[in-house]
Amino acid sequence: MSGSLLQERRPGGGANLAAEPVLEVKELKKHFPVRKGILRRTVGHVYAVDGVSFSIAQGETLGLVGESGCGKSTVGRAVMRLVEPTSGRIRLNGHDITRLSKAEMRPHRREMQIIFQDPYSSLNPRMPVGRIVGEPLYVHGIGTAKEREERVAALFERVGLRAAQMKNYPHEFSGGQRQRIGIARALTLDPKLIIGDEPVSALDVSIQAQVINLLMDLQQEKRLSYLFIAHDLAVVKHISHRIAVMYLGRIVELADTRTLFTDPQHPYTEALLAAVPVPNPRQKRKRRILQGDVPSPIRPPPGCHFHTRCPYAEERCRREVPVAKEVAPGHVVACHLR
């Protein structure tokens, strides 16, 4: 289905070496200035993303979890270059894209796409959905009008919509269908990497299952890589091969899915797992509930950001930022106590 339409004009060309990750992020930082007063003087910064590193291989899903305000969405947006990173490096298919200009960025844009939580706000209400899905082909000047239409029709069928629905407008679709449209649009240019920013969070559970299954099927078919950003641990566990846990702008733990759930090493991961209600009334348990709120990212606590809520915190945690270390192959933890 991806067809000949898209074969030419790929940056760098050639097949990836198996070992080379599709996406590599190193020490990524994004600080937003906080401005006050009539002179809009910068009085501080929101440390939204504060030194985040990870990589994603071809065909792999990396889940990025954390609570609201932890910076997980900003990571997705910085990778897409929708916000400019303050520092750090982003490599896509081996190309450093961190500082590319708009024009230089263009050929790389088709390699990665993003799906948002609320598909309705990301679909132009005045455009028939067929045109929305076909727009990227048009922008990149790919194929003839007829070829483009055929490709869009094929995409519609693939994501579980009917080709006849191409001429309808976004408001004529349900939430689940709109998310399918968002997925079709992301697939139009046959990208290597798809960033999903809470892509199923707004959907009802029965519809959520349909969309998750679709995403996983597409991954198998096209060897897609996903950066799957979500707050729902059960969903992330289901879809991800590896998971990174974020707290206040930093990754506190990163491991393969099985290890993270069976052997969590960071106290925050532990608390997060314990907080999720389990749909089994026979397992009602008395659990230790994490107290307090997430501190403000404008004035994050010194040392380990988590020390204000951590039951095990020691003196050192209040002063020194813990360095991420590999406690087992592929299992990275940033905690003084490990």
End-to-end CA distance of the chain: 49
Q: Using CA of residue 240, residue 243, residue 245, residue 250, what is the dihedral sign?
A: negative
Question: What CA–CA distances, in Å, run from 36 to 32, 40, 42, 58, 183?
Answer: 13, 5, 7, 44, 39
Comparing CB distances to another protein, the nearer of 68 and 101 is 68
Interface residue with another protein among 35, 36, 162, 287 (CB under 8 A) is: 287
Report, in Å, the least distance between residue 215 CB and another protein. Answer: 11
Give the interface segment with another protein, choosing from 22-30, 31-39, 61-69, 126-134 (CB under 8 A): 61-69
Instruction: Quote the strand ranges of 225-294, DSSP E.
Output: 225-230, 242-247, 250-256
Which residue is it, tokens 């997430």?
294
Comparing CB distances to another protein, the nearer of 98 and 259 is 259
Comparing CB distances to another protein, the nearer of 6 and 273 is 273
Q: What does the block give as tokens for 319?
A: 């002063």
Comparing CB distances to another protein, the nearer of 106 and 288 is 288
Comparing CB distances to another protein, the nearer of 7 and 291 is 291
Q: What does the block give as tokens for 327?
A: 């406690």
Strand 95-96 relative to strand 87-92, pairing = antiparallel
Report, in Å, the least distance between residue 145 CB and another protein. Answer: 33
String of contacts with another protein for each residue 243-262, x by CB under 8 A:
--------------xx--xx
Q: What does the block give as tokens for 103?
A: 């024009």
Report helix, strand or coil for 333: strand
Report, in Å, the least distance between residue 104 CB and another protein. Answer: 35
Binding flag, residue 263, another protein (CB under 8 A)? no
Binding flag, residue 241, another protein (CB under 8 A)? yes
Interface residue with another protein among 76, 176, 196, 264 (CB under 8 A) is: 176
The residues near 188 (Cβ < 8 Å, ≥ 6 apart) are 133, 134, 135, 136, 137, 151, 152, 155
- CA 294 distance to own-chain centroid: 21
Report, in Å, the least distance between residue 100 CB and another protein. Answer: 32
Report, in Å, the least distance between residue 85 CB and another protein. Answer: 26
Size of the site for another protein (CB under 8 A): 49
Interface residue with another protein among 210, 222, 301, 327 (CB under 8 A) is: 210
Interface residue with another protein among 18, 103, 205, 323 (CB under 8 A) is: 205
Give the interface segment with another protein, choosing from 2-10, 113-121, 130-138, 202-210 (CB under 8 A): 202-210
Query: Restricting to residues 92-151, which ones interact with another protein according to CB under 8 A?
Result: none
Interface residue with another protein among 14, 37, 277, 329 (CB under 8 A) is: 277
- CA 170 distance to own-chain centroid: 24
Give the interface segment with another protein, choosing from 43-51, 111-119, 141-149, 227-235 (CB under 8 A): 227-235
Which residue is it, tokens 């990301």?
122
Which residue, 300, 301, 304, is CA-closest to 45? Answer: 300
Report the 10 Å Cβ neighbour count for 32: 17
Binding flag, residue 216, another protein (CB under 8 A)? yes
Question: What CA–CA distances, in Å, run from 289 to 65, 286, 310, 311, 323?
Answer: 19, 9, 11, 10, 26
Binding flag, residue 209, another protein (CB under 8 A)? yes
Strand 325-328 relative to strand 193-197, pairing = unpaired
Give the interface segment with another protein, choosing from 99-107, 129-137, 164-172, 273-281 (CB under 8 A): 273-281
Task: Return residues touching another protein (CB under 8 A).
Answer: 61, 67-68, 174, 176, 204-210, 212-213, 216, 219-220, 231, 233-235, 237-239, 241, 257-258, 261-262, 271-284, 287, 289-291, 293-294
